[in-house]
Each structure stands twice: as C-alpha cells, then as structure tokens.
Structure 1
Amino acid sequence: MSESAPPPTDATLCEWNHLIQHTAASGSYSRCLRHYASLLAAGLRGGASTFPSLAKSCAALRLPRVGRAIHAHALLAGAASGVFVRTSLLDMYAKCARLPDARLLFDEMPRPTLVSWNCMVAAYGRIHEVEESVAVFNAMQRAGVRPSEGTLVGVLSGCVDSVSAGNIGLCVYGYSVKSGLDADLPVLNSVLTMLVRGSHLDVARSLFDTISNKSVVTWTALASGYLHIGDYMEVFDLFNLMRAVGQTVDSAVLVNLISAAVLFGNLLVAKGVHALVIKLGCESEEDIAASLINLYAKSEDLESAREIFDAVHMVNVVVWTSMISGYVEGGHLNEALMVFDNMRCAKIEPNEATVSSLLSACAKLGSAELGKKVERDAISIGLQSDPRVATGLINMHCKFGNIKLARKIFDGVRNRDLAVWSAMINGYACNGEGSEALVLFKEMKDKGVQPDAIVFTHVLTACNYSGLVNEGLECFRSMTVEYGVEPSVEHHMCMVDLLCKAGHFRSALKFIKQTPSQVQTKILAPIFSSYSTNCVDPSIELISEDILNLDPENSGHYVLMSNMLSSLGKWKKATSYRRQLRKQGLIKEPGWSFVQLSG
C-alpha cells in the first residue's frame, strides 16, 4: 500500500465489491479483473464476497496464473477457508485445466458440498478421464452426498467422445432411471449426444422420440448424428418438424440445415435455405455466413459466395477461411491467394484451416515460392506442428520433390493422425521411394494407427512405382483379409499396373477376370498400355470387343486399343477403331499442363 493511499473504509470496500460482482455477473470478465486491480491500487483488500467473482472471471478467460494469484490473495485475506470461495477456486482450476491444483484443493475440503463434488466430476469428464470421474462419483455417494442431475451430466460429458466409455455412459443412464433423474432434460441431452457420437443412431432416435420437453439442444444433437452419416433428408425432416411444433431455431440449427444442403448439392435448395436464413434475420451472424459461403462454393456459385462474404461487416477468421477454401476447391487459386493477402492486411491471423487451404492452392499452382511464403506465415504464428497444417506442408513439399524437408516436418509432429502418416507415405510413393513408404507404413501400423482405403492406395502406388510386386500382392491381401477394406477401382488399377509393368500380363488378365464386371472396364487402361508398349502376346485382341461393348462411351479405350494394334503391326484394324471412334462422335480429352514463369 502506498503512503499517499487513502485509508480503507468499509463504505469504499463495499462499493468496490458491488462493482466487481456486478461486472462478473454481466459477463464483463476482463473489466472485473481491472476493477480488482484498481481496488488493490487504492490500498484495499478483497473479502469473501469478492473472490468468487474474480475466480469466475479467471475461469471464463482461462487465466490460471491470474487465478493462482487470486487464490494467494484470498489466503492472505483469510477468506480462502470459506466453502463458497473454495468451491469457486476449485471450479476455476478445473476449467483452466489445472487438475492437480483442483484435486489438491478438493482433498483439503473437510466436507465438500454438492457443488464441489460436481465441479470435480465435471473436471475429469471434461478431459475424458472417465474412470476418475466415476471414482469421484462413487466417492461422493459413499460420503452420503446424493448425486444431482449436474453430477450425471459431468460424468456423461466424458463419455461423449470416448467409444470405450460407452458402457459406462449407459450405466450412468441406468442410474439416472433408477434414481428418478432421467426426466431431467440436461441428462437426457447428454445421453442422446453420447449415443449419437457412439454411432447408435437408431437407439438415439428412439430416446429422442420419448422426450416430451425437447430443447433446441435435443434437436441439434440428433441432427448432427444424421449429418455424420450423410442422411441430409432426415435433417430436413427434423427441421420441418421443429418448425411444426414451434421450437425456436438458433444458429446451431441453421448451421446443421446449411450442412445438409451442402450434402444435397443442389443450387436451388441452397438458395431456398439462404432465403430462410434471411427471413429469420440470421444472415449477418458470422458462423452462419461462413456456412453459407461454403454452401455456395460447394454448389459452384462462387459469385453468391463472394456477395455474402462482402456483406459481412465483422469478418472473423472462419469467414475468411470459408472464402479462401471456396476459391481453392473451385480452382480459382489466384483469387484465393488475393483474399489471403487482404486477410493479412486486415490484421486477421490465419488458423490451421486457412493455412491448410492455402498450401493446397500452392501445391495445385505448382508455386514453390508462394508455398514458402505461406509456410513462413504458419511458422510465425506457431502452426507448423499442427497435424492439419503439417499434412498440407508435407503434401506440398513432396509435390515439389523436397522429400527430405517433408520428412523433417513429419518428424516434428508429435501427435500424428492418420492424415499425417498418409501424406508422408504418399510423398515417398510419388517420389519413387517405395521401400521407404513400406517402412513407414509398417511403423504406422506398429504405432496402432489403423490404415484406411486411402493409405492402402498410397502403399500400392509405392509398390507400383518401385516395381515391388510381392509386396504389392501382400498389401492387397492384407487390405481385404486383415483390415476388411473393400478394394476400390484405384486399388484394382494399381494392382493391374504393377503386374503389367513387371511383365506378368497373364497374371494381370487373371486378376481382371476375378474383379466385379462393373470394375473390369475401368481398370483396362494399364494392360492395354503395357501390351502396346511391349508388343507382346496378341491374345489381348481376343477380349477387345467384349471390353469395348462393356464401356462403349469410353474414348480412351478405343485409342489405347488402336495404339496396341498399331504396335502389333495390325494397321487395318487399328484404323477401324479410330474410324469407329469418330463415327460414334467420341472425343479424346486432351491432356494439359502449365508452368510458372516470372512468379
């Protein structure tokens, strides 16, 4: 306290306390902390009624260091022993992800209140430590404290994103039924969300139909489940039912509706949804504006997307990113980079989604210089280790042939997801380093990462480019037998190409005959091309008519057949295929490429 500070009076302290409590209650958390700083500067010290508001502000702003200082001030003021103050500090530590501090404070409480128990249960649930959350739940019952609906919601919150915790969540729901808490809407919403995230959509729908007092959260939870499986019609039906029963609509509901329209992929539907958003007066909300931009971009109407973007006054990073991604996906790469430049001029810091879209644009443009610029921006804001950004960087550097730099980025990612592994394996494959791709694929499996169809495509491509026939055959076998991945056209194409390049034409033909008929016509190009190049056994001509009859609209097969017959010296037949191609009005699409000159 300074010598010139006025002596503290009870009246002055009461005024400060009232001001601090009022600002915290109104949600002005930063202002609340500034008022406390002014109180200290005035030589005053907070009391028991001050610290709960300060702890609440620190929790909302996620300021654990400031919260620890508040805790110290409460101890010095002799107010930390009060149950209300202790519980507020406990809640602050829990919400700031300081679980050891929260648990220590909780264990020091002689008789924790129900609110204290609930804070601890929810703290573990928030970080998906379900077993610890259940342990606290059991301990509170042994202590004679009856759980409330808030307790159950705290446990269930940890079960939402954990497949292994699904049984625990169902047991908690069973307890809610037994204890009579199953009628509480927050509990039912938590159970519904858990079922939806656990892919038990039929059970979730049955529960949904039994809930009489549905809230907007109830409707949104079920709609998100249908979106996850791509059933956009159910989302539309749910929305119509909501309107019919008079349920209020919020931004989350509209975002789900817009996402369903994206899946539907019809411009007229997109405009209808947009008109509804305008009618409800929600078009200026940033999350809805971002969704509408994405909707129009996916509907190939970038002009409408740009109109929405330009009409939003307070544009956040999500809106900027939606516009950039729309241009990238629509092939307007220069426009995407121009929007990014404007974004930086507006002092908006990009996020991982922004950088990822830009890296994709640089890779498609083939511009290493622009890619390095985007990478510098990513490094300057500390996003280079983010899995999504790292995936984009790896893809870009591999496309430019900088495989060592790509591997350096890969090694710098701690929590590698499937996309990061897939990008690096594909990088090795496309740069002809098949053995390195296989080594990395084995390492990925050893780490417990489950491969998907895309990863298997990259591995088969690696075997193809490097001539690793036995490894490719084993990969194809394990994909279907061990991992249950249904082979796609790309997988079959890689195998046929691999066998043909190695000279195993008979094996390639046998492989083709074992594939489904609808796939056969789509995987013939490699074998045609190989026969044409190597001028080998003309037996391929015997199956040509059957092949062309299966896919009569494919001009490429006619051209390949003609080239193959020319290489065998059968000029007359080769000419007849060219004539047949022109007679049917089929046109071979020309290939194209481009290079960057002077930037």
Structure 2
Amino acid sequence: MLFSSILSVSSRLKSTQHFPLFHFSYLISYPFNSRPSSCIPHQDSLMGSYHELPTIHHFSHNTLFFHLRSVSNLPVARKLHALLVVHGYLHQNHSLVLGAQLVHIYVSLNSLQEALLVFNHLPKRNSFAWNSIIKGLVDTDNFTKALDFYHSMIREGSAADNFTFPLVLKACSGLSDLQQGRKIHESIESVRVRSNAKPNIFVQCALIHMFAKCGSLGEARMIFENMPTRDLATWGAMISGMMQEGTWFEALNLFRRMRMEGFMVDSVIVATVIPACGRIRNLQIGMGLHGCAIKFGLDDDLYVSNALIDMYCKCGHTEMAECLFRSIEFKDVISWSSLLAGYSQNCAYTECLALFSEMMGLGLRPTSVTLASVLPSFSVLKLFKQGKEIHNYAIRQGFELDVFIASALIDFYCKCRLTREAEIIFDIMADRDIAIGNSLVAGYASNGDVDSAFQTLRRLQKGGFRLSSITIVSVIPLCNRFTMLNKGKELHAYVTRSSLGSVVAVNNSLIDMYCKCGCLDLAKKVFDLMTERDVVTYNIIIAAFGMHGYGDQAIMFFDHMKEQRIEPDKVTFIALLSACSHAGLIESGFSFYNSMLQDYGISPEMEHYSCMVDLYSRSGSLEDAWSFVGKIVEPNIDVLGSLLGACRVHKRVDIAELVSKRIFERRPEDPGYYILLSNIYADAGRWVDVMKVRAMIQEQSLKKKAGNSWT
C-alpha cells in the first residue's frame, strides 16, 4: 500500500514538475507507518503532540521553515523531509533555504550520510548548506573531505564566510597542513580587504589555533598581537598553543599578562596552564595557580584537580598529589592515571603498583594511558612476566594499536633488553606516530646502541615525520663523545632548520653535548642565543665550566642566574662547590655553602659534603675537614675516601689512620682503601705498618679488580 501510494503521488507530480526518481526511492527507504496516507504527513503522523500543523493544503514556505527549525529528533526530520519531497520544495530555486535547513538538521542530528544525500540533489546550494556539510565532515574527523568540499564551494561560486573559515582551519589543524592553512589565511585577508570589514574574532581565534597546532607558533603570536580586541577564548587558544609547543615560560607569562589586563579565568584556561609549572618544576607558581583556582571557585572542577595532581607529581610532591587525589569525591580514570604516572616519574614504583591494584580492585577499567603509566614500574622492579601480562591485557582490550601503549611497551621491552620484541612493535606501528619512533630511539640510546638509534632516526625522516623535541633530546646524549661530535652538529643544524631552537630542553641537551665534547665555546654560543633558560640550563653550564677549571666564569653564570630570578637548586650548589674546588677558590666555596644553608634553605646532601671536604683538603686544612666529617651523621664512603686521598697528598698519617678506621668499619671488603693506606705508610717510610696492612689484605683474601683498557 505504501509503495503504490508513493507511485500514485509521483505520477501526479511528474506531470507538472521534473523530479529525479532518487527522491521516491529515498522515501520508500524510510516508511513512516503502514498507512498509505502517511506519505503525506498531517498533524498526527508528522509531529504527534509536538506541534499542531495545518492541513496538507495549507503548508506554506514559512510554516515548513518554522517546523524545520524546531526539529529535535531524526524520525521527525525524516517525515518533514518526505513532506518537502512530495511538495517539490527541494527542487524550487526560490526554496533553497528549506533544503539548506534540512541539510543542517541532518548534520546536527549526527546523520551525515542523509545530509549528503539531500545536499547532492539540491538544484542550488547556498553558503549555509555548504557550511553545514563541512561542519559535519569536520566533526567526524573527515578533514581531507572537508577541505575538498571547501574548494568545491569556492569553485561553484558560493562565498566562504566567517562560519566557513573556522571549520576549514580546524580541518587544517587536524591534518597538520600548514601550507593549506596559510592559503586559507590569505583568502580570509582577501575577503576582509574586499569587504572592508573588521577582523572577526572567531576566525582569528581559529587561525591562532591552526598555526599553533601546525607548529608555527610565531605566526600564531603575530595574529594574536595584532588583534584589536581579544576575548577569553583567544587568550586560551594562544596559551594552549604555547603549551603544545613546549614554551612553558611564555605560556605562564601570557597567563600573567591576561590577568593584568583584567580578564577573569575559567576552568579551561587554568587546567591548560597549570601543567607548565610541572614542566619547569616550579612549585611556587604552581601553588599560586592552585590558590587562583580556589579563589575563583574552580578547585572542585575535575579537570583542574587532575591538572593539579599532575603538577604536584612533576614537582616531586607526590604526597600533596595523593592528598588532593583522595579529596576528589568523583574521580575519573584520568585522576587515577595522573597519580599513577606521578608515582612512576618519581620512582615510587611500589606505590604505583599498589595504586594500580586498588584501581583494578574497584572494578575500574584502565585506559591505554593508565597502562602506559604503570608499565615502567614492571620493568624497574624486574617484573617481566607481569609486564607481558599487561601486554596481553592491552591486546584483549583492543589497545594493541594505541600509540601510548605501543610507546610504553617499546620502552618496557628495551629496558628488559628484549629489543627484538620492541622492534616488532615498532615495525607494526612505525607509520602511526612520531612517539613510537621516539620510544625506540630512546631505548637504543639507553642501551648504548648508537648505530641502531641513528638508523631509526633516518627511517623516521624518510617516512615523512617531523622529528620532535623529544626525539632530539633522546638522541643527542649519544653524541656526548668527541668522536660523535659531527653527528651532534648535524642534529644541531636540524634543530636550527626545524625551528626547535626555542625549546629549552633541546638547547640544554646541545649545551651538555658540547660541554662533554670539550667545546665550551660552542656551548656558550648556544647558551647566549637562548631566549629562555631554566635551572637545568645554568646547572649544566656552571658544572661544565667548573669541571674545566674556569671557576670564575662558573660564578659569573651563577650571578647571571640570580639576575634572571631563577631559583638555584641543590644541583646548582654541587656544581658551584665543585667549580670552586677545581679552581682553588676556597673562600668562595665556603661562601656558597653558607649561602645555600642560610639564603636558600637547602639542606646539604652527601655530594655537598664531599665537595666541602675536597675544599678543606685543597686548602690543607685537614683538621677542619676531619672535624667537618665528624658532624655528618652518616658520612658517605666517598666522602671518607676523598679525605683519605687528601691525607696522602698532605702526608697526614695521623688523620689517615682515623679515616681508614671508619672506612674499614663500613666497607671492609674493598681492597682499594687498604692499598691507599699502605701507600700512605710507604710514603712516610713506615714499612712495618705497610706489611701489617698487606697482611690484612691477604688474611681477608681481598683482590683488586683488574682495570679495563680501550685498546
């Protein structure tokens, strides 16, 4: 009955209008109910109780448009579609608005295929119809097809507008197609100049996001700075772009500038900028942002809480992170994953596995990120069997092609020295993401396999991947020998060409490489060209210049560090004390040690004690050195060994006997210290004592390990 009714209607309409048979087959594919009359909807069959429509003879253009705008579900949309077909509205040029609105309705109801069917049979299409289709394609990640439709739209003479441009720019972002994005930017400027219109804030925000996502932060910043007015979304887009590019300091400075210009904050911006504090390990700024979140009532927001957990973990305060985690009433899997990753990053592997067990015990299903966070604990704790079980679990859950899982598994197998398994995963996943290659390069680097690391690097480049800062930072340490200096320079050249020179971690690695190769002048050039520096930058350069005996220059770098208001840490003072020791700057060393205690409140560790003993020893004040060691609760064997070595230089047999007694109590099995004491006695001509020490070595059957030669 339904089929015959439609054919009857079609025969009447064909006599007056030219209708493609497509529309009737389309109608047949969507039977509305078993009654023939339902093909021509009325108030009961079309809208039910939702709207009361006039009789079939009174459907006007405006009435149909009104009902199309109020559609909220797919069945009603299909019934209205049938009505438009039967009355021929979709094939009248003056009614193209109705067709465009129907396309929009199908897209908004997530029925892209039906939207395309309608769109493809419209006699004429306006910008609204094109925009709707492009939006549907972008929302479903069909970015290439979205750009194809955009170009077709321009060719057919429809004008792109301020609704079109953000959509196609998002497609460029999804494809990381910077060249296409630049062409669209030119089109935007051309349209704006021709129409003498002001820049649209939504389009500019989309441009900022596109340029930042495609790795051209400079162009994004230029658009941002040239904007006459900005809204919160624009600030958020620029901050997000900086975070994505790894320019943490710039992101924090921009956030500070936004606040100074009077803008309020929302949960999205706060959650976006908080991780920067973790990246630069600045707990003070992080706690300030935590206070900002509390002030604006955002501390209960789950995204903000998760970002704070991650920040505290990256700053080494896992206790605070756990406290915050336990205070969240409704945790999501990201909350668990953030703390798990934090434990793993802070080497709290036992706590990591305990939390993972707690999570599984609650019946929560881990994501790929969760599994990737917990895998390092299995490798460090030598739980190889359990790590492989996680691999099996990932396969059962359909995660085997997930980038996070693949990267973590490659790292796991490399640390277990099962490189063949890691290579198999890489071969399967190599063309999916640069992170996969990063993991294998880092794995080869950690195992000292230089050739395989560089072969993988070349394979990634041939595959069309743009090497990221993580890739570079992973492979540069392999060039920390003079024989590999040329390879290091090649990587430096790539960094310069690919605009990675603004990434602090990359520059730090380059400085470290040049310093370890003895090229301090090249290291200083990299340092001088850096627009941003962190505490690691200064620690590397101070330690290197100090190690090479340039104590005065090392101190100058420290003074510069203070001028830049970068807070020194315990590593900074180890580097400074060592520099003073190597250069014989005894008074400066004592001054820095006191400053560390009094000005910065840093508690000394064994490395600091060892440097101080060395300072006392170089000045010949062995009594003071011995007195200093006496104040240490549990002096490290290296501290005592350093003092024993100084006793030989200064021929202080009396102190050597005191020191060696404590060493033999702590490490009686090490023959090296017995031999050192024997040599001290020999230098003093006390041959009887020499024989006594050597007899002790024979009685305990101690043997000195043979040395290794490079030849």
Q: TM-score, normalised by structure 1?
A: 0.79
Shift of 1:170: 0.7
Equivalent residue runs for 1:69-468 within 5 Å: 69=186, 71-72=188-189, 88-89=202-203, 91-93=205-207, 95-96=209-210, 119=233, 122-123=236-237, 126=240, 127=251, 129=255, 132=258, 152-154=267-269, 156-158=271-273, 161=276, 162-163=285-286, 164-173=288-297, 187-194=301-308, 196-198=310-312, 200-208=320-328, 210-211=329-330, 214-227=331-344, 229-262=346-379, 264=381, 266-314=383-431, 316-364=433-481, 366-468=483-585
Q: Does 1:567 align with 2:683?
A: yes
Identity %: 23
For 2:430 and 2:411, locate their aligned partners in 1 and report how far apart those are by CA, in whole Å: 18
State the match for 1:144 in structure 2. none
Counterpart secondary structure, 1:522: helix
Following superposition, the deviation at residue 321 of structure 1 comes to: 2.3
Counterpart of 1:528 in structure 2 is 644
Gaps of 5+ in 2: 1-92, 97-122, 213-219, 241-250, 277-284
Unaligned runs of 5+ in 1: 1-7, 109-116, 140-150, 177-181
Aligned counterparts of 2:701 and 2:451: Cα–Cα separation in 1:
36
Letter in 2 for 1:41: R
Aligned partner of 2:595 among 459, 463, 478: 478
What is aligned with 1:113? none
1:278-299 deviations in Å (ceiling 9; x for gaps): 3323233222221122223334
Residue type of the alignment partner of 1:193: A
Cα contact 1:393–1:409 (8 A) shared by 2: yes
- Cα distance change of structure 1 residues 332 and 555 upon mapping to structure 2, 3 Å threshold: farther
Contact 2:479 2:487 in 1 (8 A): yes
- Structure 1 Cα separation of the partners of residues 443 and 275 of structure 2: 32
CA deviations on 1:56-112 (whole Å, 9 max, x unpaired) are 44565686755655655775898989xxx967436525635768967998969xxxx
Structure 2 vs 1, CA of residues 106 and 90 (structure 1 numbering), >3 Å: closer, same or farther? Answer: farther
| Alignment pair present for 1:53 and 2:195 | no
Q: Describe the SS at the equivalent of 2:638.
A: coil
Q: 1:487 to 1:538 in 2, by over 3 A?
A: same
1:540 to 2:660 alignment: no
Q: State the distance in 2 between where 1:235 and 1:99 align.
A: 40
Query: d(CA) in 1 for partners of 2:343 and 2:664?
Result: 41
For 2:603 and 2:418, locate their aligned partners in 1 and report how far apart those are by CA, in whole Å: 35
Per the alignment, residue 100 of structure 2 pairs with none
Give the counterpart letter for 2:321 in structure 1.
L
1:410 to 1:130, Cα distance in 2 relative to 1, 3 A: closer
How far residue 39 of structure 1 moved from its aligned partner, in angstroms, is: 2.3
TM (norm. structure 2) is 0.68
Q: In the alignment, what sits opposite 1:588?
A: 704
Q: Distance in 2 between matches of 1:349 and 1:138?
A: 37
The structure-2 alpha-carbon separation of the partners of 1:27 and 1:401, relative to structure 1 and needing over 3 Å to count, comes to: same
Distance 1:225 1:135 in 2: 34
- Partner of 1:339, secondary structure, is helix
- Aligned to 1:487, the other structure's residue is in SS state coil
The answer to whether the Cα contact below 8 Å between 1:255 and 1:287 also exists between their aligned partners in 2 is yes
Whether the 8 Å CA contact 1:532–1:568 is kept in 2: the answer is no
Q: Equivalents in 2 of 1:345, 1:393: separation in Å? A: 24
Report the 3-state secondary structure (helix = DSSP H, G, I; strand = E; otherwise coil) of the residue aligned with 1:173. Answer: coil
Deviation sequence 1:27-64 (CA, Å, 0-9, x none): 23343234322322333323676455335445656867
Q: 2:436 and 2:186 mapped to 1: Cα distance?
A: 37
Q: Secondary structure at the match of 2:603?
A: coil
Change (3 A) 1:243 1:25: same
Question: What residue identity is the alignment partner of 2:411?
Answer: N
2:147 equivalent to 1:33:
yes
How far off is 1:592 after superposition? Answer: 3.9
Rounded to whole Å, the distance in 1 between the matches of 2:699 and 2:322 is 54
CA shift, 1:471, in A, is: 1.0
Kindly state the Cα deviation for residue 324 of structure 1 after the two structures are TM-superposed.
2.2
With 440-449 and 321-330 compared, the bigger mean Cα shift is at: 321-330
Give per-residue Cα distances to partners, 1:425-464, cap 9 Å, x unaligned: 1221121111111111121122111112222121111111
Whether the 8 Å CA contact 2:502–2:532 is kept in 1: the answer is: no
2-structure distance, mates of 1:69, 1:375: 33
For the structure 1 residues 577 and 90, does the alpha-carbon distance in structure 2 shift closer, same or farther, using more than 3 Å as the test? same
User: Which piece of structure 1 moves more, 447-456 or 38-47?
Assistant: 38-47
* Amino acid across the alignment from 2:295: C
CA distance, structure 2, for counterparts of residue 241 and residue 527 of structure 1: 49
Max radius of gyration: which structure? 2
* Amino acid in the other structure paired with 1:167: G
Alpha-carbon distance in structure 2 between the residues aligned to 1:378 and 1:159: 27
**Partner secondary structure for residue 398 of structure 2:** coil
Checking the alignment, whether the CA contact within 8 Å between 1:59 and 1:91 is kept in structure 2 is no
Moved more, 46-55 or 269-278: 46-55
State how many pairs are aligned.
Answer: 552
Which of 100, 113, 125 is the matching residue for 1:13? Answer: 125
Whichever residue aligns with residue 613 of structure 2, its letter is V
Question: 1:579, 1:340 → 2: CA distance?
Answer: 56
Q: Distance in 1 between matches of 2:485 and 2:221?
A: 45
CA distance in 2, matches of 1:479, 1:56: 51
User: Whole-Å Cα distance in 1 between the matches of residues 436 and 173 of structure 2?
Assistant: 28
Q: Distance in 2 between matches of 1:372 and 1:137?
A: 45
Q: Which amino acid in the other structure matches residue 671 of structure 2? A: S
Contact 2:574 2:608 in 1 (8 A): yes
| Paired residue type of 1:32 | A
Higher relative CO (Cα under 8 Å, sequence separation at least 6) belongs to 1
Q: Write the deviation string for residues 279-320 of structure 1: whole angstroms up to 9, x where unpaired.
A: 323233222221122223334544543443344353533222
Q: Deviations over 1:342-375 (max 9, x none)?
A: 4445454432233233321121575333333433
Counterpart secondary structure, 2:530: coil
| Structure 2: distance between partners of 1:385 and 1:160 | 19
TM-superposition CA deviations, 1:401-421 (whole Å, max 9, x none): 221121111111110122221
**Aligned CA distance change for structure 1 residues 505 and 566 (closer, same or farther; 3 Å):** same
Alpha-carbon RMSD: 3.8
Q: Is contact 2:542-2:575 (8 Å) kept?
A: yes
